[in-house]
Structure 1
Amino acid sequence: MNSKHLLPRRVAPLVLIAAIGALSLSACDQRVAPPAPRADVDAAIDKTRDATVAAANKAAELAEKARDQTVAFAKSPQVREDAGKVVDALKNVGTTAAAKVDDAAITASVSAGLAKDSELSARQISVETRAGTVKLVGPAPSAEAKARATDIAKSVGGVATVDNQLEVRAM
């Protein structure tokens, strides 16, 4: 082979590599766009501030409107009527609960009074109380014992009437 021809073949790839390197370096030399001027940043901040103030004003306006509507609703005749019904219902619940406690206390007192009588068997006599009316059910050894059961029940405070259903029979 001829040495004249070898040199250009060896030089050609080197020239090609150098050209690619030069192009790469020239591409790196391109400048990046400068940051936005200070005036653009200030304008964006002002715009954000204005939007925030507008949103806060709208929120305050809506809150005031909601408060006014709530006050108007609470003062409406229908709400007042409903509140009165609730108060009445609570009073009735309290009265009913007190009556139940009173009835239970009356029942216990009548049962205790019957237990003190030697002829009456408190265990065999059922005592029920509802709204101050005492109902006696069970056996009584005599008509006199039956009458005493009525008297014992009537002697307890809070008893309005006595329904004596005791049956006279020998025990």
Structure 2
Amino acid sequence: MTSPITPTRSRLTLLAALAVAAALSACGKQDDERTAGQRLDGAIADAKQSAEETRRDAKEAISDAELSAKRAAEKTAEISSDVTITAKVNAALVADDKLKATQINVDTREGRVTLTGQAPDAQSRARATTLASAVDGVKQVDNQLVVSPKHG
């Protein structure tokens, strides 16, 4: 006659099976003569190294982002400055009696002003360079104005 399976007997059987499985998996591993404490110390050291590498990578990424933001801000300021220079040169040209009636195109890049279009005479052409040069922030003026031929 066989004895009935009781809950205690089931648990013992399960525990024995787990112990055998653990022993078999330990046999399949490479021999590691380090103690459990040494293995734990090694794992902690690996985790610290990984955390330090992550920290370095994060600092580098932040530094790169800050540099990109700084460059973008500088470029924005440069463009804003160029727009301001162009507006001031246009205002100076419009304020001049001989140049206000002419169609002069003003283009500014990095503080360098290029004037294109027509001037009524050589003196007005030279005056356009003088007016543009007097504007704050102008580094150079490239006067490409053409003197209009006299009609009549």
* Residue from 100, 117, 120 that aligns with 2:96: 117
Q: What is the aligned counterpart of 2:125 among 134, 142, 146? A: 146
- For residue 106 of structure 2, the aligned residue among 120, 127, 133 is 127
1:160 and 2:129 are equivalent in the alignment: no
Q: 1:82 aligns with which of 61, 71, 76?
A: 61
Higher radius of gyration, 1 or 2:
1
Higher-helix-fraction structure: 1
**Helix, strand or coil at the partner of 1:95:** helix
Matched-pair contact (CA < 8 Å) for 2:111–2:138: yes
Tell me the TM-score normalized by structure 1.
0.56
Post-superposition CA distance 1:35-80 (Å, at most 9, x none): xxxxxxxxxxxxxxxxxxxxxxxxxxxxxx9x9798545412x332
Structure 1: runs of 5+ lacking an equivalent: 1-64
- 2:106 and 2:116 in contact (8 A); partners too: yes
**Residue 103 of structure 1 is aligned with which of 74, 78, 82?**
82
Q: Which amino acid aligns with 1:75?
A: R
Identity over aligned residues, as a percent?
A: 38
Q: Would the alpha carbon gap of residues 161 and 140 (structure 1) be closer, same or farther in structure 2, given more than 3 Å must change? A: same
- CA contact 1:128–1:134 (8 Å) conserved in 2: yes
CA–CA distance in 2 between the matches of 1:86 and 1:115? Answer: 43
> Matched residue pairs, number?
118
Q: Where does the alignment leave 5 or more consecutive residues of structure 2 unmatched? A: 1-43
Measured in 2, the distance between the counterparts of 1:102 and 1:122 equals: 26
Report if the CA contact (8 A) 1:140-1:170 is conserved.
no
Say which structure, 1 or 2, has more relative contact order (CA 8 Å, 6+ apart): 2
Asked if structure 2 preserves the Cα contact closer than 8 Å seen for 1:111 and 1:122, the reply is: no
> CA-to-partner distance for each residue in 1:2-58, whole Å, 9 max, x for gaps?
xxxxxxxxxxxxxxxxxxxxxxxxxxxxxxxxxxxxxxxxxxxxxxxxxxxxxxxxx
1:53-109 CA-partner distances (Å, limit 9, x unpaired):
xxxxxxxxxxxx9x9798545412x33222222111110000000011100000000
